[in-house]
Structure 1
């Protein structure tokens, strides 16, 4: 029994009801009462408020049995929209989703500068356009979340972005001053982990997601919350040293994990062997289909070093689910099986190790999901994932 201030209890009940409506997709008032253990009077009162706010809509379910047609409740996905932004090294991706987390549109612009003022100007320009375009919906843009490929403090200031060489940058306040609305910053790997939890792995409370693209990031969800560390910098696992005295890293150390087990490291090795610059995924896919010996050797080395780091992560965190996000691994035959074969320690315990099915979109979809979570004031969402190749 929840006791305390009446307004607080009402807020908790509202959150519980919204979460169950989202989880079920369509649900009746009677079933809501059964699932939540709230009285029918409480359900009726809360639903009346949600209907008035246009956050929930009613649908009369068609059926052939005798009696009244049941009236089902669902979240009004078109009441507002979430804007997720992935601020990556060479490009910015803007994805707009409805309140059900379903992508409505996505666009990517190339970055030809790392200058803070220039990138700030571009962000303001594009965000303003989205705000104007969707201002006619009931709630417009309900939240803006930007994924940062670097260190983001608990106060959402950017401490360091290695690729941009941004240090102690207050992008949040600069954007909010220009836009007149709240903006949230979050580490990109955290958002990828959040997307995996919200859209795919509904059943777990503890999940690790390692992203292997330009570097290696680790998103950690423990007891259904981000694990951030003292200042918010937890998860910079790419700078765990696995080869003492090894390859120099931008962080200042040598032998960091991402110098051996990120996709960037694979492309660098292939460029050296093939004497070709800017190798693409399609070229790698073609070489794999041709059973190219160089590519297979580089990929096997990639998996070897990747497994060393994953072994460390598993032994340190004892996670329920470990998700590895890599396009190269998705195209390499038996990649997951090879990783499993390398994790043969008797003290390593985890329930599931899997490759991400969302892929590179996980970061920006996680940003949309986080914006929705904050708007609806629901601690955790369970949303279906609908893959759309054109977004």
Structure 2
């Protein structure tokens, strides 16, 4: 039983109630009392406050049974919006969702600079546009989370972004000083892992998500919390050495995992070998379908080196679920079966290995979901992703 001052207990009870409403989608006051073990009087008082604040709504459940129709409680998805920003090399991606995590729009802006102050100005400009455009709800933009493809310290200082060559930049503080709104920074792989937990794997407490696009990042959810390490830098699995004395890496070492098993390594090789500047997945798909021997051999090698690193991750963390976020794995036939065949160690234990069903959108969705989690002050969320509701807009600068 929770003890303490009345304000603290009220806050804990509020969090319990909101979490169950989000988890169930629709729930009655009576059922809330049962699942939270709170008295009906407490439920009634808290629900009245949440209704006054516009965070929840009442719906009369239609049914054919005799008797009074139950009044159901739901989170008011239209009460506000969350903004997720993926700050990646060459582009800024913005995802806007309602409070139910349902994406409203996504916009990608191509950038041709790595200059910190130019990107900072662009971020300020775009965030202001979103704040001005979405003032039609009670709470407006409730939170902003920015995905960083690099090292983010526990104090949210950006320690290092390899492809931008940024060192110890205070992006959070610089944005908050001008915008006057809370900004949160998080590693991109962590946000992808969070999206997998929130939108797909609701009953999974220990989840790893390996993102394989511009490098290899490992998002880790342990007991439904981010596993960050001492300074917040845990998860840089792409810089685990799997080939001593191998290919040089930007980190300063040689033979890093991501030099052999990231999508960027495949794209760089094929672009150089075939003299194609802006290689696309569609072109690689075409070569796969045509039975291009070199491409098939390259992807078999990609899977082999990927499996070596995954074996290490499984043995170190013993996850319930390991999710692989890679478009190449999605388009290459039987890729998952081939990976599983390479994981034949008798001491490797995991429940499920699968390719992400969300894909590249996971980072933006995870950012939105984390902003909502902070706003609602709940320990975890259970949402469902409806891709058809999203409107995609691409803007090129």
Residue 364 of structure 2 corresponds to which residue in structure 1? 364
Residue 395 of structure 2 corresponds to which residue in structure 1? none
Preserved contact between residue 147 and residue 187 of structure 1 (Cα < 8 Å): yes
Moved over 3 A (4+): 388-391
Q: TM-score, normalised by structure 2?
A: 0.97
Preserved contact between residue 270 and residue 294 of structure 1 (Cα < 8 Å): no
Secondary structure of residue in 1 paired with 2:94: strand
Residue 76 of structure 1 corresponds to which residue in structure 2? 76
1:126 aligns with 2:113: no
Secondary structure of residue in 2 paired with 1:231: coil
Secondary structure of residue in 1 paired with 2:387: coil
Residue 58 of structure 1 corresponds to which residue in structure 2? 58
Secondary structure of residue in 2 paired with 1:107: strand
How many residue pairs end up in the alignment?
391
- Deviation (angstroms), 1:178: 1.0
**How many angstroms apart in 2 are the aligned matches of 1:58 and 1:22?**
13
**How many angstroms apart in 2 are the aligned matches of 1:89 and 1:268?**
15
Residue 36 of structure 2 corresponds to which residue in structure 1? 36
**How many angstroms apart in 2 are the aligned matches of 1:214 and 1:176?**
28
**How many angstroms apart in 2 are the aligned matches of 1:269 and 1:120?**
32
Residue 14 of structure 1 corresponds to which residue in structure 2? 14
Residue 382 of structure 1 corresponds to which residue in structure 2? 382
Show CA shifts across 1:137-194 (max 9, x none): 1111000000000110000001110000011100001000110111111110010110
Secondary structure of residue in 2 paired with 1:210: strand
**How many angstroms apart in 2 are the aligned matches of 1:229 and 1:209?**
16
Show CA shifts across 1:94-114 (max 9, x none): 110000000011100001111
Secondary structure of residue in 2 paired with 1:190: helix
Q: Which runs of 5+ in 2 are unaligned?
A: 393-397
Distance 1:390 1:299, change over 3 A: farther
Residue 250 of structure 2 corresponds to which residue in structure 1? 250
Secondary structure of residue in 1 paired with 2:69: coil
Residue 314 of structure 2 corresponds to which residue in structure 1? 314
Residues 136-155 of structure 1 mapped to structure 2, 5 A cutoff: 136-155=136-155
- Deviation (angstroms), 1:269: 2.2
Secondary structure of residue in 2 paired with 1:357: coil
**How many angstroms apart in 2 are the aligned matches of 1:64 and 1:182?**
47
Secondary structure of residue in 1 paired with 2:311: helix
**How many angstroms apart in 2 are the aligned matches of 1:88 and 1:343?**
31
Preserved contact between residue 105 and residue 391 of structure 2 (Cα < 8 Å): no
1:201 aligns with 2:201: yes
**How many angstroms apart in 2 are the aligned matches of 1:230 and 1:23?**
31
Residue 347 of structure 1 corresponds to which residue in structure 2? 347
Q: Report 1 or 2 for greater relative contact order, CA contacts < 8 Å, sequence distance ≥ 6.
A: 2
Residue 189 of structure 1 corresponds to which residue in structure 2? 189
Show CA shifts across 1:278-317 (max 9, x none): 2100101111111211111111000000000000001111
Preserved contact between residue 151 and residue 160 of structure 1 (Cα < 8 Å): yes
Preserved contact between residue 104 and residue 391 of structure 2 (Cα < 8 Å): no
Residue 298 of structure 2 corresponds to which residue in structure 1? 298
Show CA shifts across 1:95-134 (max 9, x none): 1000000001110000111111110110000000111111
Residue 48 of structure 1 corresponds to which residue in structure 2? 48
